[in-house]
Structure 1
Amino acid sequence: MNLKIGEVIYRLRKEHHLTQEQLAQAIGVSVPAVSKWETGTTYPDITLLPKIAQFFECSIDELMAYEQKLTPQQINQWVVECKELANKRLFGEMIEKCTGYLRQYPKSNELKLAIASFYLMEKGFAPKDILDDLSKQVISLLEEVASGTDASLMNQANYLLAGIYIQNQEDEKAEKILLQMPRLTFHPDDLLIAIYLQRKENKEVKQRIQRRLFNHLSSIRITLGHYRQFCVKQNQSLMTERLLQIEGALIELFELEALFRVSYTLEKIIFFSRQHREEEVMSQLTKIIDQLEHTTMKMPTPLFGELELNESLQSERFPGLLLQLIVTDPTFEGIRSRKEYPELIKRLEGILQAD
């Protein structure tokens, strides 16, 4: 068995900007001993491993260059744990926990992608004093994944990186990534479903069909959103409203209200506010608060019963974001003089207190 412990010690020593003499002194061994470890001539005595690991603040597994293959279930469970910390606004502990996982499994691109994606979702809720660091970590993690060898992970990382570059108005970087990404004209599931149908593997067929359908619908919603943004910039209010109606019909037709109705209703509220249509704003605002007060929609929906879908209505932070929006955003200035306004604010505050 070829142990790579010497390579790991060398890398960690360089990362900590230490000489062999400084490391030897800290561990309590001779300089030639450290030199022999790093060249692979000898290995450290087993009794020294805990001391070396403690000195470098790493695990013995990492020191031995041993990394257990992570399962998607493990990664998902860790993300859920970190999300619970974020929901409690314990962002420092959240980052520390994620950093610990990354330190323990430094070669797992699956973990890096999962944590980068999680950080992206949490950026909108994080306090301003950590936003810059969080953004840098996201880009760093995605760049590491994008330089890997797994094509699927690379494409996902590049897609997210391109989105970040667009937000940062670094269009040339985003365009370069997107033009280099492969254009797939088919999905393997389209043929795999046919295979599993022939084998009568019904559960596998159902899962793959539902996943493909859900992904298609999500893609359509994203494209409709882009179309709306274009129409808004072109001052095409009738077409913008028509596109909103189409999205609403899709959500209702495919029974996805529990997932998307809150965010969809918020999009309508913002649209009506910009059109100075206060009556409709108040109507939609009342509807969305009703939904937040009665989060009893069943999940998952019958059409997607084999999938694990997150219910957006259960977001503990959405009421706070909505309250901040309608109280501070200039777009909603027109409704603040209406007699129903104080009661709606009171109801939102009540939802927050109940949480």
Structure 2
Amino acid sequence: MKLSANIRRMRKEKGLTQEQVAQALGVTAPAVNKWERGASCPDLALLAPLARLLGTDLNSLLSFREELTGDEIARMTGELYEIAQAEGIDSAFRWAEARRQEWPGCDSLAVSLSMTLNGLLFTLAVEEPEPYRRRLGELNEALADSEDRDVRDQALHLLIGRHMEREEYGRAEELLGQLSDRWPYRDSLKAGLLRRTGRTEEAAELWERHLLNAATECYEALVSLQELALRAGELEAGRRLTALITETAERYAMPPGTAPAGRLQQAVAERDRDGALSALRALVEGLNQPWDDGGLYPHLNGGDATPVGAVLLPGMVKSIREDEELSFLRDDPELEAILAPFAPPDGTHRP
């Protein structure tokens, strides 16, 4: 971590303003601001007084060794858990603070310790957790300004949960806007905030989208796994995955035309004419049907009777006719009977 980030983080942890630091060191507030932005550095003569003011030492302030490995951090959080179980939460907090003082420039360690301590407050059923939560809040406020995006997101997550618990919804929403789009729990936090603030329709729509996206991701993973299994000649594994693909598409009311994908891949691998034709018929006919979401996605579907995949059909038909893996069906009149109603406008097809 850079000196500028260290000064900013340690100042916030001590609860000092830039003006207070400036006054204590006999410099101006803009000078401190420049230190924290990395636009300039403190004079050498100021480093020792600055370290004392921030409650640290020169080695820590200057971060001569900046980071720990992931394994080292995991071992420390594991040891923290064991100390909490054996000696109690107060000992755990003291031990964590000592590790932070030892590695002040390692934000990854700090946020891992914070998350572990936050969980321990719950699992140990601490009778008076508020003083500990305040200490964690101060740490997380500092970490929310970290240069490391993952650390920043983890700290913000903890802060948002804290503010929601205290019904400080305005501040929670403000912090929510600072989370990166890649944080996997962003939508969950947002939906929880919407629900708590009475915006239930928005929360429901968000959860429906989350469910459909998760189902789609699971479906795509199963289709890809089946493809890999079939390429390796593992037909029995392909059959098991076919059942899972169909079940996933039906259980989570995915848009029509998705369920037959596994059946089609399996039939092509086995050169099963009847199975392939049946799957193709279900696929193209499904794409020409309205989406029956089974009541799972009313805020997304809205009862629209328009066939969701109709716009895809001409291109889909052309792709099926040109797919070399389906060449064993190329001259089959039943295939043409299935595709003809949905053919591209120019009517092109294989003889």
Task: Check whether TM > 0.5.
Answer: no
Please give the range of the TM-score, normalised by the shorter of the 2 chains.
0.3 to 0.5
Q: Max radius of gyration: which structure?
A: 2
TM-score w.r.t. structure 1 length? 0.39
TM-score w.r.t. structure 2 length? 0.40
